[in-house]
């Protein structure tokens, strides 16, 4: 029985992102999924700006932007009459520190396809039709049991197997929250010839119900969303093409439109649940296996991808035997509060949608979510120093590291996000006064850190955007984590060395 560093159970966006993060850092990873073939369902259909930043680091954002669309106005109808066309992000513009001003509409199956392609570039593929039924763990690793009786040994196991997670149940953690059986929605993918594909159609009626058709880029399909038909006891009827057609005809009041070619039909119920723990020993949970959300805002897929981004570099250090004491504990420390916040936000958004459809002048666009991924200021990894560089009210340890345009050593344009794509920590030294310290730290921690002297040979902050984004006015050292959050702001090279020594059991070179 061979042993891998990490076994990932579930090959949705969360599991695939985690597999890439581990593979690009040299960890041995095996990823399995119970499904016999990849699905082709739109499901969670939006990537938020912060997730695009994450996926740029992972290596798929350019492909996602080419596949999806960033501009799709909302067209609202009320009792059959056209009310308005709106684009809540019409005035949004990219800035030097935030290059993605809006999200991208893209089917979940397309996101997964892009992630599988990226993972294959590291020589790893998903093992489909492979179901994990249980596991045992000891001090040295985890032994997973497959449905066919095979046993897989790994150093760590991560459950990314969705809301009905078998891994979560086997861990014995709580999954607190509620399931609102009375609040449900039918969703699916259908074709509808004769309906324009340049807007997201939303038909609402004075009784408070409605139906929406969202054109999915790169396909002939629309994602269908509506309140379900109910039986005599008030239970949702099973979704079918015929019921979708009846719902559409009743709300849209557009004659001659026939829904065809259903590739996904489902009933979605309001679930608001999260675990009380995301780690038990060598077993972790991420994505929907750890937290499930109301559909509004598209927060589920985005939160899961960001879970994986947080865990990947930490788990990679652990598999290399270099994780400092408590580093793996910071995954739960940082992500569990985010899950709780997201559940509160997505529940509020869903309530706003239900209220918005009752008013002719508002609609689903009222549920535009707030920014995600702003940071982990509360984390034990967000070390404060007495010699903090910059204004702590503008940028502090734990915050998302901003982007900025610079010039590389040869004078070519380069963005900080491109610099941060290296899987190591990144050290920026602002000013010639700290250039020698930057060079020394780079040499001592070469396997853990890449370092750049800004305005002293390595990078040129030619327009001052980097200094403004990081609040730097004097010579300063900025240490950025592998998941592009600020680790440290300081003027003292000893602070950097102390931080790195705490994070990793890494012996500096003499």
Whether 266 is in a domain gets the answer no
Q: Which residue has the tokens 């269908």?
A: 224
Residue 371 lies in a domain: no
Q: Are 45 and 106 in contact (CB under 8 A)?
A: yes
Q: E strand or H helix at 52, and its extent? A: helix 49-58
Residue of 350, 338, 358 whose CA lies nearest to 400: 338
Cα angle for residues 192, 62, 454 (degrees, 5° grid): 155
Tell me, yes or no, whether 144 and 287 share the same domain. Answer: yes
Are residues 171 and 314 both part of a single domain? yes
What averages of pLDDT result for each successive group of 10 residues across the chain (510 residues)? 86 98 97 97 93 97 97 93 91 94 95 98 98 96 96 97 95 85 84 96 90 97 93 87 96 94 90 90 97 74 96 97 92 90 67 54 45 76 62 80 97 98 97 95 93 95 97 95 96 95 73
CATH code of 457's domain: 3.40.30.10
Note the pLDDT of residue 357: 47
Asked whether residue 315 falls in the same domain as residue 421, the answer is no
Q: Are both 10 and 142 inside the same structural domain?
A: yes
Specify whether 45 is located in the same domain as 165: yes
Classify residue 247: in a domain, yes or no.
Answer: no
Domain of 325: which CATH number?
3.50.50.60
pTM confidence score: 0.92
Q: Is residue 364 in some structural domain? A: no
Query: Are the C-beta atoms of residues 377 and 56 closer than 8 Å to each other?
Result: no
Give the pLDDT of residue 298: 65
Predicted local distance difference test score (pLDDT) of residue 231: 86
The partner residues of 190 in beta bridges, in order of sequence, read 222
User: In what helix (H) or strand (E) does residue 239 lie, and over which residues does it extend?
Assistant: none
Q: How many domains does the chain have?
A: 2
Query: Of the residues 352, 384, 415, which one is the last residue of a structural domain?
Result: 352
Whether 77 is in a domain gets the answer: no
Question: Do 420 and 326 belong together in one domain?
Answer: no
Report the pLDDT value the prediction gives residue 363, as an integer from 0 to 100.
Answer: 46
pLDDT at residue 207, rounded to an integer: 85
Residues 339, 416 within the same domain: no
The answer to whether residue 132 sits within a structural domain is yes
Phi, psi of 319 (to 5 degrees): -65, -25
Same domain, 433 and 336: no
* Domain, as residue range, for 288: 3-69+101-176+272-352
391 in a domain, yes or no?
Answer: no
- Residue 478, domain member (yes or no): yes
Q: Are residues 342 and 446 in the same domain?
A: no
Could you identify the residue written with the tokens 């093409």? 241
> Do residues 117 and 44 share a domain?
yes
pLDDT given at position 89: 85
Q: Do residues 479 and 413 both lie within one domain?
A: yes
């Amino acid at each position: 029985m061979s042993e891998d560093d990490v076994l990932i159970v579930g090959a949705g966006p969360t599991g695939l992102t985690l597999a890439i993060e581990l593979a690009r850092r040299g960890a041995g990873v095996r990823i399995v999924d119970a499904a016999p073939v990849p699905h082709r369902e739109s499901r969670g259909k939006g990537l938020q700006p912060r997730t695009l930043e994450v996926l740029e680091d992972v290596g798929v954002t350019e492909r996602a932007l080419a596949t999806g669309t960033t501009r799709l106005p909302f067209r609202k109808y009320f009792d059959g009459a056209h009310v308005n066309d709106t684009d809540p992000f019409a005035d949004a513009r990219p800035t030097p520190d935030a290059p993605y001003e809006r999200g991208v509409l893209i089917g979940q199956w397309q996101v997964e396809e892009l992630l599988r392609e990226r993972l294959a570039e590291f020589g790893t593929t998903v093992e489909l039709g492979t179901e994990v039924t249980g596991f045992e763990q000891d001090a040295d690793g985890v032994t997973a049991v497959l449905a066919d009786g095979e046993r897989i040994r790994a150093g760590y196991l991560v459950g990314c197997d969705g809301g009905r997670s078998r891994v979560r149940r086997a861990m014995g953690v709580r999954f607190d929250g509620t399931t609102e059986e009375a609040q449900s929605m039918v969703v699916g993918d259908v074709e509808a010839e004769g309906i324009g594909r340049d807007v997201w159609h939303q038909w609402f009626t004075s009784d408070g119900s409605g139906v929406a058709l969202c054109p999915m880029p790169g396909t002939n399909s629309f994602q269908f969303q509506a309140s379900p038909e109910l039986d005599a006891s008030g239970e949702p009827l099973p979704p079918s093409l015929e019921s979708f057609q009846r719902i559409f005809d009743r709300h849209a009041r557009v004659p001659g439109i026939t829904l065809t070619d259903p590739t996904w039909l489902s009933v979605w119920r309001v679930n608001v649940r999260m675990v009380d723990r995301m780690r038990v020993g060598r077993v972790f949970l991420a994505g929907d296996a750890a937290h499930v959300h109301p559909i509004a805002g598209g927060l589920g897929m985005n939160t899961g991808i960001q879970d994986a981004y947080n865990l990947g570099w930490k788990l990679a250090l652990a598999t290399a035997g270099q994780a400092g004491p408590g580093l793996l504990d910071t995954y739960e420390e940082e992500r569990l509060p985010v899950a709780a916040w997201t559940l509160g936000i997505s529940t509020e958004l869903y309530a706003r949608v239900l209220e918005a459809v009752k008013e002719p002048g508002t609609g689903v666009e009222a549920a535009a979510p707030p920014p995600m991924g702003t940071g982990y200021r509360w984390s034990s990894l967000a070390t404060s120093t007495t010699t903090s560089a910059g204004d702590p009210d503008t940028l502090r340890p734990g915050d998302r590291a901003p982007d900025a345009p610079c010039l590389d050593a040869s004078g070519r344009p380069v963005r900080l996000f491109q610099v941060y794509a290296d899987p190591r920590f990144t050290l920026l030294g602002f000013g010639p006064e700290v250039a020698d310290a930057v060079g020394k730290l780079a040499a001592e921690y070469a396997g853990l850190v890449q370092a750049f002297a800004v305005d002293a040979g390595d990078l040129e902050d030619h327009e001052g955007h980097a200094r403004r984004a990081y609040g730097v006015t004097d010579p300063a050292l900025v240490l950025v984590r592998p998941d592009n959050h600020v680790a440290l702001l300081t003027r003292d090279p000893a602070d950097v060395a102390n931080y790195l020594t705490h994070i990793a059991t890494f012996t500096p070179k003499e």
